[in-house]
A and B are shown apart, each in its own frame.
Chain A
């Protein structure tokens, strides 16, 4: 490779265009100065309150000793990551975690969207307000309370569901302690509790669609289904895409609070997830470095998935994040 020093070389041209471009860039930036000023406090906030802890999170690569502090604790590289990845139940933990989080996403999301559309479509105004307010309330029930409810509904002794099964001559099913059924209990109870809550967001999105579009559809005498298919759904698609993308980033979060309350020894094999393992191994035994390392592990997986999902979203629907 030779380097061309000729005065009219490409290099100089590029330099010139770079100068022009950068002055253009500066120009644009100057015009947008108010926006930079607007976001400045939040950026500072992020540097202090989000990156500050992340800087401390280097304990994932150290053997954290409180007396030595974060920065003087001995460096151990990937020891904690290894401890997690080579642990006895690693594959099962990842599998269970993925099953729960993916199932909650692909079963829960369409239902929430459906509810939002139904609420948006209905003509009964009072009914809508009532339904809307009611279905979002279960979000406030803690999982401890939900466990009590599930016990009443599902107990093989005197639970409602099993009463019905017994009445039809069936054998009672111990839903909460049977490995064959436990995953469904987790997934469906999560949908039960959270669908109403996630409906809010889609409803807000539906309300952001310009009424003119619906008026035009009415003029063209579109059927309700057509209206939903060609106006409502495309109207909230950006939000749906965004939420799917973000959920991809947290694919290894399967709902610690729920599992921790609902699971029991007989269903560990189908219920134990990464976070419950970390709780038993890390937090209870003063292994904060390990807990932080697992957090990073989840972040890396999330990062990879969100990058892929972003690519796909951009290509398919021009709806990427960056």
Chain B
């Protein structure tokens, strides 16, 4: 038999791998000493040893991978702030959360890291790790990075939300532009059917019915719906807040004042809002897949012209790459933003904004090794000398600053432009650690462009409109920690609401009282009390 040869090769391979693994073992706890050794000869004299910093952060463009080992920024960071940076990309969502949590469980966190949360609650993730004693206080770091503190850590509320027991534990990066989602309607459909922009729930219903039944796209088939959306969180999610808001009950909590604080379902207008939503469902004017649809499916559907009213992020709607497929299908179509409908009691709320941004933290281990100062140096550099390099690349090669002070790629080799796919590995840190929503950045990120039939698309006008609408300040939600029986409580809370919305349960006084009683049996009252206390302690409720 000749197969034994292969077996032999395999055995050798395995044993060498095993040996290599064993050999690595003692070196594992301390970070890569051999890297430091190769650096040492370059700087022979009085300069202190470079500090090794391992950074875990999510990617801006996950498909692009990390920057190469010979990235110029690594050299400059070493030269200018004497830090030996090891940048490792954290996966997004639950994968990243599992990775971070596993590292935490093994007390093996990197020096400096981004908090990852699949449920978009980075503060909750930070809180958990702080409770476990794995995260270092960073109060003293702010003074070491004055410029960055002024640009990034200037929001007292954000800072207070990363503060536990009087100490700052997290560095809150500026959130993505707040209040960036809004209500949109197909103006071309309205015009074709001779309808006006709806301003109340009833008018919304009428328009939705017309969009469903009067063939607004004129293809002779009854293949459109008035409304599209999907469920993206607890309760009714955030995508139908404009409907709930018409009854004054947008979001999970009533943040108005300490006296009225509590779950919105306590409000007697809540079942009314659900009854209205149910009438949309019963009239079959909402895409019937809404309870099970995922976001990507939803986005594919509006691009196929399936519905005429929706809630969407301004960039996901109107940036060139996102809008173009829709533009090609329907060059004459136009989505216009509309105000929040006003309900029977005069309520109108667009949505609830939570102001959640990314939070970075230093591990206690790194602090014990005296690395905080070096991390502060690095962060300050990212906000000053390194800002353009990490955000856009090298001036004159990857971007230029034109006469108006705008970032531009005019006259550059298109494959080297900062916007090119090839260049994305070099600006992976930009959304996490570099950008702070300056005017120059926003102009560069959301430029105007021209559609196929010559209309000018201005993403920022959508944004401006959205932001001018009546939003509920829901930033307090960040301090509310989930109850101990979160899986049960949130399931009961959400399941009940959706059952009423779908008509699986009829909205009646009796059923609603029963629902609330069940919620209480799961500890709703205690949860409200602890949430209220947390908000008052944080100074967010008066």
Contacts and interface: CB of A to CB of B under 8 A. Distances in A.
A66 B105 contact: yes
Interface string A115-153: 000000000000000000000000000000001100100
B97 A89 contact: no
Given A67-B107, A88-B522, A89-B488, A265 B132 contact: no
Contacts of B494: 265
Interface in A85-105: 87-89
Contacts of A284: 94, 97, 118-119, 486
A89 B493 CA distance: 13
Contacts of B133: 65, 67
Interface in A185-241: none
Interface in B96-114: 97-98, 101, 104-107
A281 B487 contact: yes
A176 B292 contact: yes
Interface in B77-95: 94
A317 to B, nearest CB: 36
Contacts of B287: 157
Interface stretch (B349-357, B395-403, B495-503, B525-533): B495-503
Contacts of A174: 288-289
A176 B104 CA distance: 37
Nearest to B290: A177
B137 to A, nearest CB: 16
A176 B288 CA distance: 11
A67 B134 contact: yes
A264 B132 contact: no
Nearest to A268: B495
Given A155-B289, A265-B495, A272-B491, A66 B485 contact: no
Interface string A226-269: 00000000000000000000000000000000000000111011
Interface residues of B, number: 40
Contact of B495 (A64, A269, A277, A285): A269
Contacts of A286: 101, 104, 128, 132
Nearest to B491: A268
A280 B94 CA distance: 11
A65 B132 contact: yes
A69 B488 CA distance: 29
B488 A285 contact: no
Q: For A177, A179, A283, which residue has the most chain B Cβ atoms within 10 angstroms?
A: A177
Nearest to A288: B105
A10 interface: no
B105 A64 contact: yes
B191 interface: no
Given A268-B491, A284-B119, A288-B105, A87 B485 contact: yes
Contacts of B118: 284
Interface in A52-100: 64-67, 69, 87-89
Nearest to B237: A265
| A interface SS class | loop
Contacts of B486: 280-281, 284-285
Contacts of B105: 64, 66, 288
A284 B96 CA distance: 11
Given A265-B498, A266-B504, A285-B128, A177 B107 contact: no
B492 interface: yes
B107 A66 contact: yes
Interface string A277-304: 1001101111010000000000000000
A265 B231 contact: yes
Highest count of chain A CB atoms <10 Å: which of B105, B223, B287? B105
A158 to B, nearest CB: 7
B289 A266 contact: no
Nearest to B98: A283
A177 to B, nearest CB: 5
B288 A156 contact: yes
A171 to B, nearest CB: 10
A172 interface: yes
Contacts of B292: 151, 176-177, 264, 266
B325 interface: no
B291 A88 contact: no
B194 to A, nearest CB: 26
B354 to A, nearest CB: 18
A277 to B, nearest CB: 5
Contacts of A264: 231, 291-292
A28 to B, nearest CB: 29
Interface string B172-186: 000000000000000
A285 B106 CA distance: 16
A66 B504 contact: no
B202 interface: no
7 contacts: A88-B485, A155-B289, A156-B289, A157-B225, A266-B502, A285-B482, A286-B104
Interface of B: 94, 97-98, 101, 104-107, 118-119, 128, 132-134, 223, 225, 231, 287-289, 291-294, 297, 482, 485-488, 490-492, 494-495, 498-499, 502, 504, 522
Q: List 10 tightest A-B contacts by C-beta distance, closest first.
A: A281-B487, A280-B487, A88-B488, A264-B292, A265-B498, A156-B288, A66-B107, A286-B128, A176-B292, A177-B291
Given A151-B289, A285-B486, 10 more contacts: A148-B297, A176-B289, A264-B292, A265-B231, A265-B494, A268-B491, A281-B485, A283-B97, A284-B94, A285-B482
Interface of A: 64-67, 69, 87-89, 147-148, 151, 155-158, 172, 174, 176-177, 179, 264-266, 268-269, 272, 277, 280-281, 283-286, 288
